[in-house]
Structures are given as C-alpha cells and as structure tokens.
Amino acid sequence: MASVIFEYVTKQFENFFAVKDLNLTVEDGEFLVFVGPSGCGKTTSLRMLAGLEDVTQGNIYIGDKRVNDIPPKDRDIAMVFQSYALYPHMSVYENMAFSLELQGKRKGEIKTRVESAAKQLGIDHLLHRKPKELSGGQRQRVAVGRAIVRNPAVFLMDEPLSNLDAKLRVQARAEISKLHKELGTTFIYVTHDQVEAMTMGTRIAVMNQGVLQQIDTPQNLYNHPKNIFVAGFIGSPAMNFFPAVVTNKEGHLYVTTNSFEFKIPPERTASYESYQDQQVILGIRPENIHDPDYAPPGIRPALVKAIVSMTEMMGNEVIVYLKTTGNQEFVARVDPRSHISIGQSISVIVDRSRFHVFDQNTEQIIR
C-alpha cells in the first residue's frame, strides 16, 4: 500500500493545458475519485500517475518515491481500463496470470493468486472461458481480477463501468467498494458520473478545464460546495440557480429574484450584509423544494408560484419541471403522492434554511 502525491503537476499539449497545477495527496488506503465532465483532465491525471503520459511540470510520488521518470511497469500499480483490454485468444485464467508470468512468478504461486482472486470476484467457474464467451459484467470482473493478482500498491481505474448497463453498474459499484474495504489498498478511480463518485469515494476530487475545483468527502461536497461549478455538478438533478439581489427591508435581509423572495434566517445574515443591493446567484437544490401538501416538518417555508412544464414519476419521488412567473425554469423533487399535472399552476415551498448564495463575478460561495 502507498500514498500518492501530485505536487503542482501540469500537463501541456502545445498551447493547451490538460491539467494545470494539480496539487493533492491521496492517503494510504484511501478511495479517491476524480470526477468531472469530458475534457476536464481527470483521465490525463490518472495516465500521468500510471506513466502513460509524461509530466510537463511538477512531481508525482507513490509512497516516498518520485516516479516521473520511472517506467510504468516499475511503479507498482495496476490499472483497469474502460475497454477492459483483455487478450481475446487467452482464457480468463491466462488473462489473469499473464502479468505474473512476465514477472517470473512460479506456477504454483500464479495458480494460487489467480484462483484466490477469481473466487473473491465470483468468476472461479469462468477460468476456462475466452473473453468472447463472457458478458460485459463478467469481463469487467476479469479486468479487475487481473489487477488484483498483481497485489499492487495502488489500483487505478479509468471509467471501468461505463460499458455496463444501468443495473450492472449499480451492482459493480457495490462490488468494487466492497473489494476496496477487503483489500485496504489505495484506489484512484476516474468517472464522469457524479452518482458513481458520490457512492464510492471516501473523497472526491472535482475537476473542470484541467483545474482542481474542490476535494472533499461526498457529504461536504454536497452540503458545502466552493463554487457554482461544484454545486451544479454534484447532485442529481442539478442544483437550481436564480439571478438574485440581496435586499434590506425594514432591517431584515432578503434574497430577491424576479419571481419570488424570502427572508434570510437571522443566523445567516452576517454572511450577506456586505452584499446588500448587489447581484448574486441563488442556488437551491431540487430536494429542498416541496409540494405544500407533503412538506416535511421543521422546515422554514417560502412559497413560490410556478407552472408545471413536465413531470417524471420515479416511483419513490416525482421530478417536477417548473417555470416561475418571471420565466425562470427550475426543478423540484417532490413526494410521490403529489397530484401534479402538466400545465397546472401551483405553489411550491422552498426551504429557506437550505440555500446557497454565490458571488456573481467570482462564482465562489458566499459564507
């Protein structure tokens, strides 16, 4: 096992910065997830760690060893690719054993490692089959098994579940998380799927345009995003954003949009006093907007009038797409018992104790 350190790492292609000044530490035994949209630099960061891309500037350490100039095979890592990259002419056993054979391991040790990993992953009955005879989920397990047998210091996974259907992805997420707990090894995982990131990572590194935006636990990213990008990327459906102004009425601070306003709770007013009469961005998560008939107890309600544009029944909830009188579109997640129909004029409740305000110019959170 080993920690991983990115020390102001930059990757530049001519005039384009794929990764810029990446500075973070992955603790020994941690499950860190890189997440962000396509082209944000997450896979490039992983490939630099693996030795598949050269570092333009900065240093990468695995444990206490600087690995910038060390070949991939000598970095004590194992990588699982999106494509699985299995050898089609080899059996499952041969695929899993191949890297150990290259290392010159004895046949008895290879057999023990392969059979142990296969049993752990529930593919011990498939060892004689070729990849073409396997389902997508089985191939994914073989690729993970091939990494496990090497007993590396660090596991690297580059979107390994993206080729699976939705049901298998959920199952595989749980299996990889369980595997991490059993092995206790450092895992670094890349995905564009924020649900994957939230359910698997002990910490998540959110990237955009090659720059690390925030690194924190899933819960802290959700509750305390540092900027509009993180706030909008983490959470599904995404956070709603409203152009707004902080106003003072008779000594009380309000957040005012072109369609609704609400009083800021007294314990939060100090954060916004310096923003009076300034343009800001109000952020409200869909799960903090409720049908008045089924609003949870203990919230601080503020009514918002809107027209229903569309609904999506999800079984355990209803996703409601709304438009305010000021033509502002937003989304709510409401109780499945709600009787809401397209075209209906309704009032929904915003929980005014659960909101975020961002500086319009810097897009940073105002605390």
Which three-class secondary structure string do you get for the chain?
CCCEEEEEEEEEECCEEEEEEEEEEECCCCEEEEECCCCCCHHHHHHHHHCCCCCCEEEEEECCEECCCCCHHHCCEEEECCCCCCCCCCCHHHHHHHHHHHCCCCHHHHHHHHHHHHHHHCCHHHCCCCHHHCCHHHHHHHHHHHHHCCCCCEEEEECCCCCCCHHHHHHHHHHHHHHHHHHCCEEEEEECCHHHHHHHCCEEEEEECCEEEEEECHHHHHHCCCEHHHHHHCCCCCCEEEEEEEEEECCEEEEECCCCEEECCHHHHHHHHHHECCEEEEEECHHHEECHHHCCCCCCEEEEEEEEEEEEECCCCEEEEEEECCCCEEEEEECCCCCCCCCCEEEEEEECCCCEEEECCCCEECC
Q: Domain ends where: 214, 233, 252? A: 233
**pLDDT, tens digit, 9 for 90 and up, residues 337-346:** 999 999 999 9
Residue 28 and residue 48 share a domain: yes
pLDDT score of 1 more than 70: no
Residue 315 and residue 205 share a domain: no
First to last CA, the chain: 38
Residue 260 and residue 219 share a domain: no
Query: What's the pLDDT at 34?
Result: 97
Residue 268 is assigned to a structural domain of this protein: yes
Q: Domain ends where: 233, 252, 268? A: 233
Residue 225 is assigned to a structural domain of this protein: yes
Residue 250 and residue 224 share a domain: no
Residue 185 and residue 254 share a domain: no
Residue 311 and residue 214 share a domain: no
Q: 300: domain CATH number?
A: 2.40.50.140
β-pairing verdict for 186-191 and 154-158: parallel
The model's pTM is 0.90
**pLDDT, tens digit, 9 for 90 and up, residues 25-35:** 999 999 999 99
**pLDDT, tens digit, 9 for 90 and up, residues 152-188:** 999 999 998 888 888 888 888 988 899 899 889 999 9
- The number of folded domains in the chain is 2
Cα–Cα distance for residue pair 36/208, rounded to 1 Å: 6
Residue 366 is assigned to a structural domain of this protein: no
Residue 339 belongs to what domain range?
A: 240-359
Residue 156 is assigned to a structural domain of this protein: yes
Residue 192 and residue 140 share a domain: yes
Query: What's the pLDDT at 304?
Result: 94
Owner of token pair 């544009």: 309
Residue 292 and residue 147 share a domain: no
Residue 120 and residue 87 share a domain: yes
Q: Domain ends where: 202, 233, 264? A: 233
Residue 81 is assigned to a structural domain of this protein: yes
